[in-house]
């Protein structure tokens, strides 16, 4: 009699992918206050199936975080391979901030309380070699100010995340990231701020 183990393994992996994809969507919309029941409904599986894959919400959050770290590591490695180090650095920061701005759950997981500091440390450990190389080359090429440090980048991301968090405007961060990046340049002052007419009313307040 043929073994049924391989199909069961395929089903388990399929369910795991469904659960993680659903969790990304639910946490993006509601933040980490969403429950495993919410995730199960979005995935179209029973809550028992979710609990068989993940004993509690923290385990599911850890899995989402690992996915996110993989993405950020890929983005950082691609940036480090860019011949123009400044272009690589700016593209990397823009991409990471895009992910962060559009995903409420990600912001809460990486920047919030609880295991947030531990997760930030894990992220730094994974991407630090590529970041160090990128910053060193940007300085050698005369594009980046000499006193910029790798430790500045997560703080910049935190600042940019605060724009989205406190204004509710998912694209407003682009203007302030441009201001920050211009300050990181070895010769600042030439950056054009994006979206002034669209982002601000005539009286200068955010629309």
pLDDT per position as a tens digit, 115-165: 767 777 888 888 899 999 999 999 999 999 999 999 899 889 888 888 887
pLDDT at 105: 74
Q: Quick one: the chain helix, strand, coil %, rounded to 5?
A: 75, 0, 25
Asked whether 69 and 145 are in contact (CB, 8 A), the reply is no
pTM for the complete prediction? 0.75
Residue of higher predicted confidence among 112 and 36: 36
Rounded Cα–Cα distance for residues 160 and 169 (Å): 12
- Compute the chain's Rg from CA coordinates: 20
pLDDT at 207: 45
Average pLDDT of the segment spanning 57-64:
86
pLDDT over 50 (residue 5): no
pLDDT over 50 (residue 202): no
> In the predicted model, what is the mean pLDDT of the chain?
83
Rounded Cα–Cα distance for residues 39 and 25 (Å): 9
Average pLDDT of the segment spanning 83-98:
94
Average pLDDT of the segment spanning 38-43:
93
pLDDT over 90 (residue 83): yes
pLDDT at 61: 84
């Amino acid at each position: 009699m043929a073994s049924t183990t391989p199909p069961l393994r395929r089903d388990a992996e399929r369910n795991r992918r469904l659960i993680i994809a659903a969790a990304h969507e639910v946490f993006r919309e509601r933040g980490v206050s969403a429950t495993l029941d919410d995730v199960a409904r979005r995935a179209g599986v029973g809550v028992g199936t979710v609990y068989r894959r993940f004993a509690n919400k923290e385990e599911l959050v850890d899995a989402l975080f690992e996915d996110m770290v993989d993405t950020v590591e890929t983005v950082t490695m691609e940036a480090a391979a860019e011949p123009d180090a400044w272009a690589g650095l700016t593209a990397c920061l823009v991409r990471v901030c895009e992910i962060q701005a559009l995903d409420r759950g990600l912001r809460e997981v990486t920047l919030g309380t609880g295991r947030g500091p531990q997760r930030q440390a894990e992220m730094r450990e994974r991407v630090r070699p590529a970041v160090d190389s990128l910053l060193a080359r940007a300085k050698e090429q005369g594009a980046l100010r000499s006193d910029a440090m790798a430790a500045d980048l997560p703080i910049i991301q935190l600042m940019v995340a605060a724009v989205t968090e406190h204004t509710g405007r998912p694209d407003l961060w682009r203007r302030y990231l441009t201001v920050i990046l211009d300050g990181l340049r070895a010769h600042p002052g030439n950056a054009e701020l994006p979206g002034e007419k669209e982002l601000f009313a005539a009286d200068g307040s955010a629309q």
